[in-house]
Amino acid sequence: MIMEIHETIKVGAIFGDNNKKLKPVWFVWSGRKYSVREITYVWTERLGKASIHHFTVTDGSSLFVISYNTDTLIWTLRSIETAG
Protein backbone atom coordinates (compact mmCIF):
# COMPACT_ATOMS: atom_id res chain seq x y z
CA MET A 1 0.00 0.00 0.00
CA ILE A 2 1.36 3.43 -0.99
CA MET A 3 0.45 6.52 1.04
CA GLU A 4 1.14 9.99 -0.37
CA ILE A 5 2.49 12.22 2.43
CA HIS A 6 4.14 15.45 1.12
CA GLU A 7 5.31 16.72 4.53
CA THR A 8 8.50 18.56 5.48
CA ILE A 9 10.93 16.38 7.45
CA LYS A 10 14.28 16.70 9.21
CA VAL A 11 17.07 14.67 7.60
CA GLY A 12 20.59 13.77 8.62
CA ALA A 13 22.68 13.52 5.47
CA ILE A 14 26.32 13.31 4.48
CA PHE A 15 28.10 14.75 1.48
CA GLY A 16 30.85 12.87 -0.28
CA ASP A 17 33.00 13.22 -3.37
CA ASN A 18 33.83 16.92 -2.93
CA ASN A 19 30.31 17.76 -1.64
CA LYS A 20 28.71 16.47 -4.84
CA LYS A 21 27.17 13.22 -3.64
CA LEU A 22 24.32 13.55 -1.15
CA LYS A 23 23.41 10.57 1.05
CA PRO A 24 20.54 10.66 3.57
CA VAL A 25 21.28 8.49 6.64
CA TRP A 26 18.25 9.16 8.85
CA PHE A 27 15.08 11.26 8.94
CA VAL A 28 12.48 12.32 11.49
CA TRP A 29 8.79 12.21 10.62
CA SER A 30 5.90 12.66 13.07
CA GLY A 31 8.28 12.58 16.04
CA ARG A 32 9.87 9.25 15.05
CA LYS A 33 13.42 8.79 13.79
CA TYR A 34 13.92 6.38 10.89
CA SER A 35 17.36 5.03 10.00
CA VAL A 36 18.09 4.66 6.30
CA ARG A 37 19.25 1.09 5.88
CA GLU A 38 19.55 1.27 2.09
CA ILE A 39 19.08 3.74 -0.74
CA THR A 40 17.35 1.78 -3.49
CA TYR A 41 16.92 4.42 -6.19
CA VAL A 42 18.02 8.02 -6.84
CA TRP A 43 16.91 10.52 -9.49
CA THR A 44 17.02 14.28 -10.00
CA GLU A 45 14.60 16.65 -11.69
CA ARG A 46 14.65 20.38 -12.40
CA LEU A 47 11.96 22.67 -11.02
CA GLY A 48 12.71 26.20 -12.22
CA LYS A 49 16.18 27.04 -10.93
CA ALA A 50 16.09 24.28 -8.31
CA SER A 51 17.27 20.72 -8.59
CA ILE A 52 15.10 18.25 -6.69
CA HIS A 53 17.02 15.16 -5.60
CA HIS A 54 14.71 12.21 -4.95
CA PHE A 55 15.72 9.14 -2.93
CA THR A 56 13.83 5.91 -2.48
CA VAL A 57 15.06 4.56 0.86
CA THR A 58 14.20 1.73 3.20
CA ASP A 59 14.43 1.29 6.95
CA GLY A 60 14.22 -2.47 6.46
CA SER A 61 10.42 -2.70 6.58
CA SER A 62 8.97 0.15 4.50
CA LEU A 63 9.96 2.12 1.41
CA PHE A 64 10.01 5.92 1.61
CA VAL A 65 10.46 8.51 -1.11
CA ILE A 66 12.20 11.60 0.27
CA SER A 67 13.26 14.66 -1.71
CA TYR A 68 15.72 17.52 -1.25
CA ASN A 69 15.17 20.91 -2.90
CA THR A 70 18.50 22.64 -3.63
CA ASP A 71 16.83 26.07 -3.83
CA THR A 72 14.84 26.02 -0.57
CA LEU A 73 17.13 23.49 1.22
CA ILE A 74 13.98 21.68 2.40
CA TRP A 75 13.55 17.92 2.67
CA THR A 76 10.12 16.42 1.99
CA LEU A 77 8.67 13.00 2.68
CA ARG A 78 6.74 12.28 -0.52
CA SER A 79 5.34 8.79 0.08
CA ILE A 80 5.54 5.59 2.09
CA GLU A 81 5.03 2.08 0.75
CA THR A 82 4.27 -0.61 3.31
CA ALA A 83 3.74 -4.35 2.94
CA GLY A 84 0.23 -4.17 4.42
* Digit-coded pLDDT (tens) for 33-44: 999 999 999 999
**Annotated domain spans of the chain:** 2-81
∠ at Cα 39 (34, 42), nearest 5°?
Answer: 125
Q: What pLDDT, on the 0 to 100 scale, is given for residue 83?
A: 80
pLDDT for 84 equals 67
Reported confidence tier of residue 79, pLDDT bands at 50, 70, 90: very high
Strands 38-47 and 32-35: unpaired
Q: d(Cα 13, Cα 49) in Å, to the nearest integer? A: 22
Identify the H or E element spanning 45: strand 38-47
**Contact between 50 and 71 (Cβ < 8 Å):** yes
Mean pLDDT of 60-72: 96
Q: Is the pLDDT of residue 54 over 90?
A: yes
